[in-house]
Structure 1
């Protein structure tokens, strides 16, 4: 049966493929799993009787929907019987005969209970007379006898025969059926079996007789009536009769044109066609797209469209005549033995008519991908024993077809088709269960298939596979493929996956085993240049994904006279090392290894690189036995000479706004930073007009202040590798921005900020930034919108920072109040200061104090050799704040020219304490609040600046008159 494509596409297929040149490695069988089912006695079918024939006589009024009929059943008593029960729902039982004698019966809850006294071994008859208007089943299928404007037809799968005729409505009791149907004489009746006569009753009705020759399950019985025309496609010994509406006739000649060829092809693959005739009847139905009624498939109208577009559906229903109709499942626990086989046959027909590549693509798109997409929505399901509402869901169709395809791979092509034929020959006209199918597969193949059936039929889940390729030229089998399964359920998967290896235009097929622990597959193949692996070749194995694992080069940062590389830890053995490879692209040289012995860290600095040269880099993992993985991804870099000729660059990333509170224009931002930085000299770089600065530009400066003061844009997301390269080469960066920190990658943060994560609060929450070493920074409410109540939103904090320079003073209701708000982190000779807020929105006085302290520190901080003790100067002020005078104590660590000056917040020098050569030692100065001219200074905050050699120290001093 095919579900209607308007509801869900159950496109199903199977595939013919020989795996050539398969190379087996050191393979061991996975563990054997004890079955959790036990049905060898087929207990459901042990009813004590066997219905051998039904003779259904039925009169149908297509106008009133009233039916009147009787069913004469011939039954074999397999044991002494005191009663027999049939199913009938929604119709009235008028009388019952047993051996042509009226019998006692009851009819309630859909069960006709007939009293008997029959001895074991006896054959007897029952005859049930009934009438009424048939109702459709009240379950999700909503089927039975269906009346439309120009047809009457029946659909009974899974158990709706009971809604239109009395029978023992269970799949395990198959019986021959004869049908005698009376309906209006200008309509034709299509049904199971062979038509023997059409009798005109002379009253506007006619009676059609259909005689069956082979047993069938009750859900396969059909009556289809309408104003049909017939066309005949009969083969030599097989009648093929089709019933279509006159308007469909020409289209049907095309759509059904290859049915005889299909029958011939499937007869070659499966065995002789099993029944007395075949044909199709076309109706307008909605529940299903088609239904495999024995000898008379019912097709939906949309299929007859004058093309071969739905030929896989036609093939599907035809294949059911072998699998599902002739060989029937015992109960719906095993419905996959019907639907999976029919689905698989669609692929067979694709291969026959369109070729192997097309059939393989059909496997991938219509089996594997379709089922996985369904499971992603519905969750993992087992094929065996679906619930009632899921009998005809993708596990029984697409997943089951995929499993048959994999079984074919596992046992081999010849064994597989031998299995299909033996399965049909052994169980034709009977009922089967899954364990019998497994037993036959094991008997034919000589393999233990417990694990295969356990993981695919009796357990849920679809695995993924990860594999890695290794080579070792010193080994007898120099190629190794390690393959690991990852299950999306608790089901452990042991798989066989075909690989195609192509090198120098020659292909080999490799048979790779995968296990939850990771399976080592060894092959006597030497890898050459340009080798290409095609895993899961021709889509043999149902997988969520199959992924090659190679070492992953994460960073390849060109920097000052060198290139910095880092990579992810490669999964596998904990003692893996790494080999680094480099290639000079400019001169076209071959790959060379930069380290002779494996490196056991996850980063490397290539100090042998030449500035201005384009290099490519890759790495390989090396295990303790000398196996080398395939190379990683390739990354490129051109190292750059950093001159550091200039002190300070300010990079303005802020877009030119409209001048409102939270959208400052360019002049407002420039003026803010200029006021805060005077008298520090700096160059400016405006991103809006000049674009993002390149590495060579940054490398010309010792310090970069990068600020982004608008809400909507963070261009640093595209430039952080350049900024990282600058820091690695000894550059120092201060980043200030709105939401800037959240665009930085985890790799950048780990490498250059020393933190694994950022906490982001988008609500107005920040009041101020507090520090024990730098000036307090308070939010400037004049630059905010009123709704923010004087607090700044979009704040990033860094709870795991090691060197904290500011703490967040937030609304107490914010759980991240007190987190690190600004951090400082050194990497190689460079340094990053990362702020979780934009300086522009803080009060100008505090920002100036902060920048006047930290920028000179960064500019004049020499590159420190960690082996030499630090040489520093120091300065202390007390009291601070002061009223009349204060004492300034400085300590000089070396002799040389030095100066001590005082600046106001506009950057103007107001007093010089000294500017001369000084000896190493301590000095004390008194300050009485007067400038160089003896004039008393106004109250306020001033900056003391001590400079010696290339070291500058600044301190804030508060004067209160």
Structure 2
């Protein structure tokens, strides 16, 4: 990320629902151990230090099939989703995260299921209990007018599901995926996605992955997108509006899809060209591009003072500069493919993407990463509050502070200067390969850096990530 219920429509319109399917039975299989634990309710959260109630215990989300039917004039959202999951314990009930929207009904394995609501938690009690290891499937219909979130987390900006003049801009980091679809809304529970968008004729629905199909029927337009690689819920989008679309492939052969609001002045910023070039360059530096398509969604959303690394197609709330584009594309490796285990590790996303900006300047021949480091380091005196934030655990309200970005990037340059270019540029693609489509934390990065370099690096990472105060320059 970078700063910068109502009257139903006719049956032909898609209603919004969640489906979580189950093949479990109420009783344990014959011959099961009498000491096996009985079924119990899954935890209502995964216990993340910053968002303890996000995500859900007792199951592993595998695949979402989201249906989004949206009326831009009223703001009403309705639709249908299928979530496939696997029980990780014997379950008598399980939770879904859903903020504000109203649930109409729930079915589990095709049978009506009881559900209750407490705040943003929907607790589902299936008629047939679920056994550990069983794959299961719910149907939940819901609807309403999604509301964006706000507060100090995202630079004081609104974020999530944000209404535009002709549709909606959807950018959900860190906790707004559940403002528009029920989910296990934590990056530790990634899944694949089908996202089906139903909007008024004349509008385009853009989402993650690749476009499977699109059609117009009557006064509605339908778009089906598929993301086949595991994705964190906050990276899902269903951005809708009037867009000029350009498609093709990068020089390196990666399919590309760029959608731009035609009312925006593009000026000298070639979003398509920069996206193609940066995708190919990062593929050389960070390892093979991890997804099936690259691209961008460039919308007119002045209330959103940021851009977001939406998986496969970063979303930009205006035409952003080259630096922002290369930052968000670097996130496809650092944040999207390799996601944080918990949110205190956010520097693994933002510090790496910021350092990528320095590498890009070096690649362009405009400035070395060392010079960018010195500029960032020298721009803040020792008594600047910037230096008080411990980047390895910046706390919830400052998790997107400039220190996480800039001091995180400084950490990587200090590491590069300690271990040398050969080890450093072996480390980056090794890291993305080892944790491809998974989750990771800082201790694992330190261990890998030490293994590849053959050096003990605790002092370096402690100084740059875990201390408050301005560190001495490397070698001083």
TM-score with structure 1 length normalisation?
0.42
Whole-Å Cα distance in 1 between the matches of residues 286 and 383 of structure 2? 31
Aligned to 1:292: 309
Which of the pair is proportionally richer in strand? 1
Shift of 1:360: 4.1
Shift of 1:177: 1.1
Which sections of structure 2, spanning at least 5 residues, go unmatched?
5-48
Shift of 1:313: 0.8
Contact kept? 1:244, 1:252, Cα under 8 Å: no
Q: 1:544-943 maps to which residues of 2 (within 5 A)?
A: none
SS, match of residue 264 in structure 1? helix
Contact kept? 1:190, 1:296, Cα under 8 Å: no
Aligned to 2:93: 83
Which sections of structure 1, spanning at least 5 residues, go unmatched?
5-38, 304-309, 465-494, 498-513, 515-961
Q: 1:186-335 maps to which residues of 2 (within 5 A)?
A: 186-202=202-218, 204-235=219-250, 237-248=253-264, 251=267, 254-283=270-299, 284-303=301-320, 310-335=321-346
Shift of 1:57: 0.4
Contact kept? 1:285, 1:301, Cα under 8 Å: yes
Aligned to 2:60: 50
Correspondence 1:113 to 2:123: yes
Mark the CA change 1:315 to 1:99 in structure 2 (over 3 Å): closer, same or farther: same
Correspondence 1:130 to 2:142: yes
Correspondence 1:156 to 2:172: yes
1:417-464 CA-partner distances (Å, limit 9, x unpaired): 111011000000000011111111111111111112222212221134
Mark the CA change 1:379 to 1:450 in structure 2 (over 3 Å): closer, same or farther: closer
Contact kept? 2:266, 2:319, Cα under 8 Å: no
1:162-212 CA-partner distances (Å, limit 9, x unpaired): 11111111110000011001111101111101111112121x111110011
Aligned to 1:440: 448
Contact kept? 2:327, 2:354, Cα under 8 Å: yes
Shift of 1:387: 1.7
Whole-Å Cα distance in 2 between the matches of residues 228 and 255 of structure 1? 14
SS, match of residue 80 in structure 2? strand
Aligned to 1:390: 398
Shift of 1:348: 0.9
Higher radius of gyration, 1 or 2: 1
Shift of 1:339: 0.6
1:786-805 CA-partner distances (Å, limit 9, x unpaired): xxxxxxxxxxxxxxxxxxxx
Q: 1:424-439 maps to which residues of 2 (within 5 A)?
A: 424-439=432-447
Shift of 1:245: 2.1
Aligned to 2:108: 98
Shift of 1:253: 6.9
Shift of 1:104: 1.0
Contact kept? 2:382, 2:470, Cα under 8 Å: no
**Superposed CA RMSD:** 2.1
Whole-Å Cα distance in 1 between the matches of residues 182 and 286 of structure 2? 34
Shift of 1:83: 1.5
Shift of 1:233: 4.0
Whole-Å Cα distance in 2 between the matches of residues 76 and 243 of structure 1? 35
Q: 1:413-428 maps to which residues of 2 (within 5 A)?
A: 413-428=421-436
Mark the CA change 1:386 to 1:281 in structure 2 (over 3 Å): closer, same or farther: same
Aligned to 1:748: none
Aligned to 1:801: none
Aligned to 1:496: 474
1:231-288 CA-partner distances (Å, limit 9, x unpaired): 1241364211111122447647734423222122111111100001011111224344
Whole-Å Cα distance in 2 between the matches of residues 151 and 348 of structure 1? 36
Contact kept? 2:190, 2:230, Cα under 8 Å: yes
Whole-Å Cα distance in 1 between the matches of residues 205 and 161 of structure 2? 14
Aligned to 2:82: 72
Count of aligned pairs: 420
Shift of 1:132: 0.4
Q: 1:399-410 maps to which residues of 2 (within 5 A)?
A: 399-410=407-418
Aligned to 2:22: none
Q: 1:16-35 maps to which residues of 2 (within 5 A)?
A: none
Correspondence 1:354 to 2:365: yes
TM-score with structure 2 length normalisation?
0.84
Shift of 1:77: 1.2
Mark the CA change 1:369 to 1:87 in structure 2 (over 3 Å): closer, same or farther: farther
Aligned to 2:3: 3
SS, match of residue 333 in structure 1? helix
Contact kept? 1:152, 1:224, Cα under 8 Å: yes
Shift of 1:296: 1.1
Whole-Å Cα distance in 2 between the matches of residues 443 and 388 of structure 1? 31
SS, match of residue 3 in structure 1? coil
1:914-946 CA-partner distances (Å, limit 9, x unpaired): xxxxxxxxxxxxxxxxxxxxxxxxxxxxxxxxx
Contact kept? 1:374, 1:394, Cα under 8 Å: no
Whole-Å Cα distance in 2 between the matches of residues 249 and 286 of structure 1? 17
1:329-364 CA-partner distances (Å, limit 9, x unpaired): 11111000011110010011111113445x544333
Aligned to 1:453: 461
Whole-Å Cα distance in 1 between the matches of residues 77 and 323 of structure 2? 36
The higher relative CO (CA closer than 8 Å, separation ≥ 6) is in: 2
SS, match of residue 63 in structure 1? coil
